[in-house]
Amino acid sequence: MPKLNRYYISRNYKFSKNAASKPKMDCETVLSMIGFKNLGFEQTNHPSSALGAIISFFGITKGLILLPFSSVLCMQYPLSKFYNYQIGIAKLKGCKIILIVHDVKTLMGKNKDVKKEMKRFNRADVLVLHNQVMMDWFTENGYRGKMVPLFLFDYLLGNGQNLPDTPQIFEKNVVFAGGLGMEKSAFLYQLDDLKETDFNLWIYGSGYQKEKVSASSILDYQGVFAPDEVLHKMKGNYGLVWNGNSIKECDGAFGKYIQFNNPHKTSLYLLAGLPIIVWNKAAVANIVEKEGIGFAISSLKELSEKLNAIDSETYFRMVSNVSSIRNKIKNGHFLQVAVEKALISIS
């Protein structure tokens, strides 16, 4: 399939220090690397939602006007109010649609009507989904098109940015980065109740509940940083992937979601050179253990004992395995492979 037939339409991605827009922005960069052409305006990061929506609408409209008939259009989901507009015009022009799925609202508990959301997905020709677990769920819930797995999200370096050094000292310092509010990360404020806390937890992000933390807490708040900054601010030995209200398991809507998705923070930790600690029922746990880039636990009550059982040789073997994967993450390897597979499936 000629590369000239490959397109995407950029839009405004609201700048935020919570890294919510970075995966989609990185995807556009990777698409450009493999021959996709942007038909819309250049990517923007206006913080105003109203202005951003106006820019996105006119940029998407421009792109749809320029979109050649019978070409390939790569879109990203969710696309809020513009999804039906963009995919509708593209289909009228006889285009094939590759849809990179970042979040599934039904799985997140934000949408109760799975049939309605699946109807939207069925308008695409091929989906790029997080992993095999998510692909199985799509099949069970009525998706009839083609699918390819992403494996892991890429996490591109900023301009002039280099990879940080991998951990050189064998210690038990655990990093947690992300939203620190009660809805998603209430478990953090229960960690001091653990019987064994033979580790430190350094936390990064917005929404920190300082009033819930005692002076003797194992939690050590490091601040909130932009997506490119936090990579070099994170210092530790492991990255923790955990969601929900409980230290016993990942519970609630976010706990259910982690059983299907690949959290973007996993890729951030790996890019920082940190082995992963993850709930054993999380979808990404399969990758972590198979690739030897960390370990899985059923409960945070096991964490101290598990860390104490890891010797220096085992730890630095994990660090070495992480180094080989993070070079792929920084180069956009996983999306490149997935999109090329998607192109083959519809050619």
Residue range 3-154+332-346, CATH number: 3.40.50.2000
User: For residue 66, what pLDDT is reported?
Assistant: 98
What are the domain boundaries of the chain? 3-154+332-346, 173-329
Consecutive sets of 10 residues in the chain, 347 residues long: mean pLDDT of each? 77 74 94 97 87 92 97 94 95 98 94 93 98 97 97 93 93 94 87 89 92 90 89 94 94 91 96 97 96 97 96 97 96 98 94
User: For residue 80, what pLDDT is reported?
Assistant: 78
User: For residue 18, what pLDDT is reported?
Assistant: 58
3-state secondary structure the chain: CCHHHEEECCCECCCCCCCCCHHHHHHHHHHHHCCCEECCCCCECCCCHHHHHHHHHHHHHHHHHHCCCCCEEEEEECCHHHHHHHHHHHHHCCCEEEEEECCCHHHHCCCCCHHHHHHHHCCCCEEEECCHHHHHHHHHCCCCCEEEECCCCCCCCCCCCCCCCCCCCCCCEEEEECCCCHHHHHHHHHHHHCCCCCCEEEEECCCCCHHHCCCCCCEEEEECCCHHHHHHHCCCCEEEECCCCCCCCCCHHHHHHCCCCCCHHHHHHHHCCCCEEEECCCCCHHHHHHCCCEEEECCHHHHHHHHHCCCHHHHHHHHHHHHHHHHHHHCCHHHHHHHHHHHHHHC
Could you confirm whether domain 173-329 is CATH 3.40.50.150? Answer: no
User: For residue 327, what pLDDT is reported?
Assistant: 94
User: For residue 97, what pLDDT is reported?
Assistant: 98
User: For residue 1, what pLDDT is reported?
Assistant: 43
User: For residue 2, what pLDDT is reported?
Assistant: 46
| Pairwise CA distance, residues 53 & 7, whole Å | 21
pTM for this predicted structure:
0.94
Q: Do domains 3-154+332-346 and 173-329 have the same CATH topology?
A: yes
Token couple for 285: 């746990």
Q: Are 256 and 292 in contact (CB under 8 A)?
A: no
In DSSP terms, 223 is beta-bridged to 204
Whose CA is closest to 230, among 242, 222, 221, 218? Answer: 222
User: For residue 228, what pLDDT is reported?
Assistant: 80
